[in-house]
């Protein structure tokens, strides 16, 4: 059996002044090359779980317990300096809203190259060339010319591809994608999902895909973990949950997918 790439065990996260954990006893594993979909409605704790893995909790947030291991290494025991090397180099992050993730006054090629420079993987012309290659990998037309553009000169779909290029620049084995298609129209969503599948196959990525949309999960994920009110209520292979959802909340999520009524829905 292949050892897991990422292990999250009994994770508990709370906020100062809160009466109950926002993430409560969440456990899951991701194997190399696997896609785990973490699905739930807004406020279910799925994005907070992702931020906990990167140790980027919002103000007032704090770890209450649990363990997070990457290739067997305890991330919660690392210094902040060591975690900065984990972020980007070993775990890439694709944020939901690219305009808040990108620097509006910095050319996109420089932003991709910066990820390489910060981790000491390339500098100068070599970093710029690798940045152009990363932009090409995410299917940005004429990447050498596009590398000179600023974020506002690109469409929403192209900006999301730039964020993906930054996440992939250092070739991390794990990428976390937090609602990567939410702000996009249906046609662009389909293109981004197709691109995610292609990139995963090409680079052998493991992917933690966070979404509220079971349609996205069905397109991309191998397994799915369902979160509800901070807890993980169901986890299984996607095909099994689509056919036989065990939890009432999962059945309601599936019933919300256009054109589909899952078995057991009421």
Domains in the chain: boundaries: 98-171
Q: What percent of the chain has pLDDT over 90?
A: 72
Burial class (CB in 10 A: 0-12, 13-18, 19+), 112: buried
Confidence check: pLDDT of 141 > 90: yes
Q: What is the mean pLDDT of the chain?
A: 91
- End-to-end Cα distance, the chain: 39
Q: Tell me the helix, strand and coil percentages in the chain, rounded to 5.
A: 40, 25, 35
Do strands 174-178 and 206-211 pair parallel, antiparallel, or not at all (unpaired)?
parallel
Cα 27 from chain centroid (whole Å)? 17
Euclidean distance between CA atoms 257 and 36, whole angstroms: 19
Q: Residue 145: its pLDDT value, please?
A: 96
Burial class (CB in 10 A: 0-12, 13-18, 19+), 204: exposed
The arithmetic mean of pLDDT across residues 3-12, rounded, is 96
> What is the sign of the dihedral through the CA atoms of 185, 186, 188 and 189?
positive
Strand ranges (DSSP E) for the chain? Answer: 6-15, 23-30, 35-39, 61-70, 73-74, 91-94, 174-178, 206-211, 223-228, 231-237
State the pLDDT confidence band at 266, using cuts at 50, 70 and 90: very low
State the pLDDT confidence band at 265, using cuts at 50, 70 and 90: very low
pLDDT tens, position by position, 157-215 = 899 999 999 999 999 999 999 988 877 788 888 888 888 889 888 899 999 999 988 88
Higher-confidence residue: 184 or 114?
A: 114
Of 209, 162, 211, which is closest to residue 182 (Cα–Cα)?
A: 211
Helices (H) and strands (E) in the chain, counts: 11, 10
Classify 208 as helix, strand or coil: strand
Confidence check: pLDDT of 55 > 50: yes
State the pLDDT confidence band at 260, using cuts at 50, 70 and 90: low
State the pLDDT confidence band at 1, using cuts at 50, 70 and 90: low
State the pLDDT confidence band at 65, using cuts at 50, 70 and 90: very high
Reported as half-sphere exposure (CB side, CA atoms, 13 A), residue 182 has a value of 17
The arithmetic mean of pLDDT across residues 154-159, rounded, is 90
Classify 153 as helix, strand or coil: helix
Q: Residue 247: its pLDDT value, please?
A: 92
Higher-confidence residue: 183 or 59?
A: 59
Confidence check: pLDDT of 96 > 90: no
pLDDT tens, position by position, 81-93 = 999 999 999 999 9
Higher-confidence residue: 17 or 266?
A: 17
The CA angle 26-205-55, to the nearest 5 degrees, is 40
């Amino acid at each position: 059996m292949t050892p897991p790439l990422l292990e999250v065990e009994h994770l508990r996260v709370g906020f100062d002044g809160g009466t109950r954990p926002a993430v409560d006893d969440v456990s899951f594993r991701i194997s190399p090359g696997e896609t785990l979909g973490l699905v739930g409605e807004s406020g279910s704790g799925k994005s907070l779980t992702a931020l906990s893995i990167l140790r980027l909790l919002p103000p007032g947030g704090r770890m209450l317990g649990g363990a997070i291991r990457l290739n067997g290494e305890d991330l919660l025991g690392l210094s902040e300096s060591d975690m900065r090397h984990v972020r980007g180099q070993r775990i890439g992050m694709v944020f939901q809203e690219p305009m808040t993730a990108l620097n509006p006054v910095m050319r996109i090629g420089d932003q991709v190259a910066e990820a390489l420079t910060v981790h000491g993987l390339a500098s100068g012309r070599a970093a710029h060339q690798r940045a152009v290659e990363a932009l090409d990998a995410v299917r940005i037309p004429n990447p050498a010319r596009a590398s000179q553009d600023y974020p506002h000169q690109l469409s929403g779909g192209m900006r999301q591809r730039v964020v993906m290029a930054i996440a992939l620049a250092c070739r991390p084995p794990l990428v976390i994608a937090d609602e990567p298609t939410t702000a996009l129209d249906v046609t662009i969503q389909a293109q981004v999902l197709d691109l995610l599948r292609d990139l995963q196959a090409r680079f052998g990525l493991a992917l933690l895909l966070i979404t509220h949309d079971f349609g996205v999960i069905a397109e991309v994920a191998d397994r799915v973990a369902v979160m509800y009110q901070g807890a993980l209520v169901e986890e299984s292979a996607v095909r099994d949950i689509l056919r036989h959802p065990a939890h009432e909340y999962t059945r309601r999520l599936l019933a919300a997918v256009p054109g589909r009524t899952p078995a057991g829905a009421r």
